[in-house]
């Protein structure tokens, strides 16, 4: 029954969802308003609870921090006074005489009595201390105590865990619990022990050790005075606990690792048993002690009611309700309409992609479908138009290439005819052979784009032909970067420019001239220079050559035709620069995007294949 009911329920839910999405905008708004009010009630309860807990946490944190500050100040002050008095005591002649005595001498009894008197007098000046113990290197002990003398359980200081650390500190005190294990612990009477090395005042050699015991009940007398409803205190010296939490469960969960983590971020929550505690740390004690407090969250649950905050955030939640309603209105109405409007505006920029702002059949969905149908028709018309324009441009490129080929052939045949007429038959024969090699390379088996190296060979063959016709008239020089040799460009680009340099630049001067051809790569562009030192042109002459059509300006056929071919091929009109002035020659610079050259060349070659 359950397996058969699940698909039915799922189908029913999908049907309800579809009914809602296909309803009118007014119906959607009504449903959204009702659901939003219910959601607002839930949010009110959640937010009130959150801020209530936050205020309780702040109160606990403030009171616990104040308690830690008070305890640490009192404890540090007490320990500082005792440490200072112990420093004075180290240089006492009675202590020095006792520790440098001959243990088998006859004056030992008197020295011990004098030492005890000094210790008792010092103990009276330190009300917080319980006992003072002096131990020599052999383990002999003299002490003064208020009530009970501490009982040593080790026979020598060298057996204590703190022995090496105290000797390495050279008199600086350390603080350990119950003498660091040197004394037997007393039931319900733990104490903090100040342990320091006693050095000789004459030669600074170690003589013995002083231990001053301070009862924890005296040192931390204000802690836990409120019982379980107040902060529980824990104190560490280094990695050793000086005072554990009085709560056994809390002490069990609070480890040294927890103390290290707490010192890093100063505040942390801890769950011990069924209670949740807020832990705080204070580790700025001048004596190196770390203080930790733990306070139950439930301690202040009935004492603090942030009524004003509840009212304030109730207003904020009500405001959020209207913002949520506005958000829903935007989600289902404003935003789809805006995106549809944005898609329509893109058509002004030539972007005729369909708009997909909704998948539902409401009013906006119907408007979207009508718009997409219109865009689809426009896109089909544009595609047909673009295809027609591409065919037209390719035909124009073919025409330009065919115009250039006979142009050079006519000039070459005229040169051969001239040589034959001048009875230079051998030169004419060489010219015919060079011409055949030139056409073999320039035709390139019908390939429209060829490597720059092949284009350079075509120019060299052409100029070799012209040198046979015009000996001792010009020279050609080349500076071709090796990395440009394999870059492909449209064929017959350099030859018309070299022809222009010869016929319209060098020959009219009547002097010996030179043609320079250079190529290199710069900023992802193939740069080609074709330069001559001929008669040059003025700005007006250059403008006249570059304007107008090829049919009406035959003198510019080579230059103008090459420029137009490259502009069509690269679909970019800003690919050339012409530098010329009368009497100084002409330089033509092409900047071709060589990263696109290989792709365009492969595409054209595949088309021909």
Q: Domain of 448: which CATH number?
A: 3.30.565.10
**Does residue 409 lie within any of the structural domains?**
no
CATH label of the domain that carries residue 254: 3.30.450.20
CB 329 within 8 A of CB 356: no
Picking from 171, 188, 190, the residue whose alpha carbon sits closest to that of residue 180 is: 190
Q: How many CB atoms lie within 10 A of CB 267?
A: 13
Structure token pair of residue 4: 């058969």
Full domain range(s) for residue 593: 424-608
Residue 96 has pLDDT above 60, yes or no: yes
Tell me the CA distances in angstroms from 76 to 64, 68, 126, one per residue in order: 18, 12, 14
Picking from 488, 498, 430, the residue whose alpha carbon sits closest to that of residue 463 is: 498
**Does residue 7 lie within any of the structural domains?**
no
* DSSP at 255: -
Burial class (CB in 10 A: 0-12, 13-18, 19+), 577: exposed
From 39-43, 192-196, 548-552, the region with the lowest mean pLDDT: 548-552
More confident residue, 215 or 330: 215
pLDDT digits (tens, 9 = 90+) for 103-146: 656 567 888 889 889 999 988 888 888 899 999 888 888 899 98
Does 434 share its domain with 292? no
**Does residue 501 lie within any of the structural domains?**
yes
More confident residue, 606 or 408: 408
Q: How many CA atoms lie within 13 A of 109 on its CB side?
A: 1
* Residue whose tokens read 């700005």: 539
CA distance 488 to 475: 26
**Does residue 357 lie within any of the structural domains?**
no
**Does residue 396 lie within any of the structural domains?**
no
- Domain endpoint, select from 269, 300, 331: 300
pLDDT digits (tens, 9 = 90+) for 444-503: 566 778 899 988 988 888 888 788 778 889 999 999 999 999 999 887 888 888 988 998
* Residue whose tokens read 């509840």: 310
Q: What pLDDT, on the 0 to 100 scale, is given for residue 591?
A: 93
**Does residue 74 lie within any of the structural domains?**
yes
Residue 4 has pLDDT above 90, yes or no: no
From 269-278, 303-312, 589-598, the region with the lowest mean pLDDT: 303-312
Instruction: Compute the radius of gyration of the chain from its Cα atoms.
Output: 51
Distance of CA 81 to the CA centre of its chain: 53
Structure token pair of residue 13: 């839910």
* DSSP at 333: I
**Does residue 469 lie within any of the structural domains?**
yes
Number of domains forming the structure of the chain: 2
- Domain endpoint, select from 300, 329, 364: 300
Question: In the predicted model, what is the mean pLDDT of residues 385-399?
Answer: 57
Sheet (strand 206-215) strand order = 141-145, 131-136, 206-215, 191-199, 174-177
- Domain endpoint, select from 300, 331, 360: 300
Residue 306 has pLDDT above 80, yes or no: no
Instruction: Report the relative pairing of strands 474-480 and 513-522 from DSSP bridges.
Output: parallel
From 196-210, 299-313, 326-340, 350-364, the region with the lowest mean pLDDT: 299-313
**Does residue 313 lie within any of the structural domains?**
no
């Amino acid at each position: 029954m359950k397996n058969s009911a699940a698909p039915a329920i799922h189908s029913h839910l999908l049907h309800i969802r579809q009914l809602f999405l296909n309803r009118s905008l007014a119906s959607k708004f009504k449903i959204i308003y009702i659901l939003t009010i219910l959601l607002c009630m839930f949010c009110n309860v959640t937010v009130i609870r959150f801020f209530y807990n936050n205020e309780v946490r702040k109160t606990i944190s403030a009171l616990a921090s104040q308690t830690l500050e008070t305890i640490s100040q009192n404890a540090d002050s007490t320990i500082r006074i005792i440490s200072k008095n112990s420093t004075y005591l180290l240089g006492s002649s009675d202590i020095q005489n006792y520790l440098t005595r001959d243990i088998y001498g006859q004056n030992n009894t008197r020295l011990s009595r004098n030492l005890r008197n000094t210790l008792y007098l010092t103990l009276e000046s330190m009300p917080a201390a319980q006992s003072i113990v002096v131990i020599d290197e052999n383990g002999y002990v003299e002490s003064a105590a208020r009530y009970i003398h501490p009982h040593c359980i080790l026979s020598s200081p060298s057996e204590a865990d703190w022995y090496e650390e105290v000797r390495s500190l050279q008199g600086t005190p350390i603080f350990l619990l119950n003498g660091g294990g040197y004394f037997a612990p007393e039931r319900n009477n733990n104490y903090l022990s100040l342990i320091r090395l006693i050095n000789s005042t004459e030669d600074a050699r170690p003589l013995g050790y002083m231990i001053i015991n301070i009862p924890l009940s005296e040192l931390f007398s204000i802690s836990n005075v409120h019982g379980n409803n107040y902060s529980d205190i824990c104190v560490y010296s280094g990695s050793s606990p000086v005072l554990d939490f009085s709560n056994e469960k809390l002490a069990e969960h609070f480890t040294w690792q927890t103390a290290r983590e707490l010192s890093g971020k100063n505040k942390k929550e801890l769950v011990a048993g069924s209670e949740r505690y807020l832990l705080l740390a204070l580790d700025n004690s001048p004596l190196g002690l770390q203080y930790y407090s733990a306070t139950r969250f439930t301690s202040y649950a009935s004492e603090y009611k942030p009524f004003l905050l509840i009212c304030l955030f109730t207003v904020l939640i009500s405001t959020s309700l209207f913002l949520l309603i506005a958000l829903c209105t935007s989600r289902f109405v404003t935003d789809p309409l805006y995106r549809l409007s944005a898609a329509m505006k893109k058509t002004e920029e030539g972007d005729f992609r369909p708009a997909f702002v909704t998948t539902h059949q409401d009013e906006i969905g119907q408007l979207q479908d009508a718009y997409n149908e219109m865009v689809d028709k426009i896109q089909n018309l544009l595609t047909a138009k673009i295809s027609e324009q591409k065919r037209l441009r390719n035909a124009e490129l073919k025409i330009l290439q065919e115009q250039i080929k006979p142009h050079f052939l006519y000039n070459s045949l005229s040169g051969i005819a001239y040589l034959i007429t001048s009875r230079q038959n051998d030169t004419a024969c060489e010219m015919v052979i060079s011409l055949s090699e030139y056409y073999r390379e320039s035709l390139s088996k019908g390939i429209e784009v060829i490597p720059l190296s092949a284009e350079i060979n075509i120019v060299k063959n052409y100029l070799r032909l012209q040198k046979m016709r015009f000996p001792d008239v010009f020279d050609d020089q080349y500076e071709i970067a090796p990395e440009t040799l394999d870059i492909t460009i449209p064929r017959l680009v350099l030859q018309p420019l070299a022809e222009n340099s010869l016929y319209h630049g060098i020959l009219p001067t009547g002097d010996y001239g030179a043609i320079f051809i250079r190529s290199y790569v710069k900023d992802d562009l193939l740069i080609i220079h074709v330069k001559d030192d001929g008669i040059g042109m003025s700005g007006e002459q250059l403008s006249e050559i570059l304007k107008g059509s090829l049919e009406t300006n035959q003198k510019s056929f080579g230059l103008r035709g090459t420029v137009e071919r490259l502009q069509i091929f690269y679909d970019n009109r800003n690919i050339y620069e012409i530098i010329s002035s009368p009497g100084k020659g002409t330089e033509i610079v092409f900047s071709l995007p060589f990263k696109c050259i290989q792709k365009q060349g492969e595409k054209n070659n595949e088309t021909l294949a």
